[in-house]
Amino acid sequence: MTHAIRIHQTGGPEVLKWDKVEVGKPGPGQVRLRQTACGLNFIDVYLRTGVYPVAALPAILGMEAAGVVEELGDGVTDLTVGDRVAYAMVVGGYAEQRIIDARHLVKLPDAIDDQTAATMMLKGLTAHYLLFRTYPVQAGDTILVYAASGGVGLMLCQWAKHLGATVIGCVGSTEKAELAMANGCDHPVFYREENIVERVRELTDGKGVPVVYDAIGQQTFESSLDCLRPFGVMVTYGNITGKVQPLDPNILAAKGSLYVTRPTLATHVSTRELLIEGANRLIDVISKGIVKNHVNQSYALENTAQAHRDMEARKTTGSTVLLP
C-alpha cells in the first residue's frame, strides 16, 4: 500500500483526503513511478471544485510530478529502471507512487533537481506554448502579463525578456512587483490601485500591446481587450476569477479587429512530438539559467489541503512543491 491525496466529492480544500491506495503493476507501455516531488497548480483547484470534471470519483488530483522509474511494463524501450523523469498534464500526480504511460515522461538531466523538475513542467510548458505558438513573441514587442509574480507569470517574464520583449506585468503588491521585476518584468502595474488600461496605454504611447496573456479570466477580460492595439491577440488561458462570459464577436471589430483565443496545455502536449519539442526548449533554458523556476513554498504531500488554501488566498509566489 502507498498513499495519495484523493477527493471523494468536489468542494473546498477540506475534500482533499490522505488515503491509502493500491498501485499495482504497470501494463503494456506503462511504468511504475516512485514520485519524489509533486507540483501544485491552479488547474488542481478547478478539478477539486468541479469547474473541470474528473473522470470518476474518488479521484487522485495533481497534474505534474518528478520521480524515478521503478518498474517497466511490456514494450517500454526508451526508459530504464532508475531513470529520473518528469511529466505534466496527467491527472494523478498527488501520490507517493503511480502507474503512468511512458509516452508522457521526459527524461531529466543531472543539472535539474527533482523539486525544480516537478514544478517546472506544467508552468514551463504553458509559458512555452504561449510565447512560441499562441502568439510568437518577437524582439521589440511589448507584452502584458497578468499574475506576473505567479509560477507561469515569472517564467513568461523571464523567457519573454530573453526573446527581446518589453514586459508589462500586473501584480497585487509591492513585494510581488519586486519579484516580477527581478525576473524580467520591466513595468509592474498594481491592478488594485491603478487603471490597467490607462497605464498600459501610457507605457505604449497610446498604441496598446500586440498580445495580452491573461490567466485571471472573468474579472479582467474586458480590460484586457482595451489594452490591445489593432489586430492584437487576447489570450485568456486561466479562470482564477471565473469563466469569461459569452462574447459578442462584433466587439472585436469595434475594438480594432482583435483576435481572441482560449488555449490549453492539453492540446500542446497531445502528441509525443509536441511534448518533446516544448520540453527540450524548456529544459534548455532552465539548464542554462536563462529561466529560473522559483520554488518558493513547500508542503508535505499530506498537507496538500493547506497548500490549496494558501494558493487560493494568493499567498504563494512562483512555484509550490508537495513532498511525498
Q: What is the pLDDT along the chain (324 residues), one digit of tens a residue?
A: 899 999 999 999 999 999 999 999 999 999 999 999 999 999 999 999 998 999 999 999 999 999 999 999 999 999 999 999 999 999 999 999 999 999 999 999 999 999 999 999 999 999 999 999 999 999 999 999 999 998 899 999 999 999 999 999 999 899 999 999 999 999 999 988 899 999 999 999 999 999 999 988 777 788 999 999 999 999 999 877 778 788 899 999 999 999 999 999 999 999 999 999 999 999 999 999 999 999 999 999 999 999 999 999 989 988 999 999
User: Which residues lie below 8 Å from residue 54, measured CB to CB, with a gap of 6+?
Assistant: 7, 10, 47, 61, 91
Q: From CA 258, how far away is CA 255, in angstroms rounded?
A: 7
Q: From CA 239, how far away is CA 198, in angstroms rounded?
A: 23
Give the pTM: 0.92
Give the CA distances from residue 60 to residues 23, 57, 90, in Å, rounded to whole numbers and listed in that order: 12, 9, 11
Q: Residue with C-alpha cell 513542467?
A: 121
Q: From CA 22, how far away is CA 201, in angstroms rounded?
A: 56
Question: What is the longest distance spanned by two Cα atoms in the chain?
Answer: 62
Query: For residue 219, what pLDDT is reported?
Result: 72
Q: Answer yes or no: are the C-beta atoms of 109 and 86 closer than 8 Å.
A: no
Query: For residue 97, what pLDDT is reported?
Result: 98
What domains can you pick out in the chain, each with its CATH number? 2-121+266-323 (3.90.180.10), 139-262 (3.40.50.720)
Query: For residue 240, what pLDDT is reported?
Result: 73
DSSP string, 94-155: SBSEEEEEGGG-EE--TTS-HHHHHHHHHHHHHHHHIIIIIS---TT-EEEESSTTBHHHHH
User: What is the Rg, in whole angstroms, of the alpha carbon atoms belonging to the chain?
Assistant: 20
Q: Answer yes or no: are the C-beta atoms of 21 and 304 closer than 8 Å.
A: no
Nearest to 82 by CA among 66, 93, 71: 71
Query: For residue 317, what pLDDT is reported?
Result: 86
C-alpha cell recorded at residue 46:
478547478
SS3 category, 296: strand
Q: From CA 154, how far away is CA 235, in angstroms rounded?
A: 17
Q: What value, to the nearest 5°, has the Cα angle with vertex 79 and ends 76 and 85?
A: 125
CA–chain centroid gap for 26, Å, is 28
DSSP string, 234-253: EEE---TT-PPPP--THHHH
C-alpha cell recorded at residue 243:
469563466
Helix 114-129 / helix 272-287 crossing angle, nearest 10 deg: 120
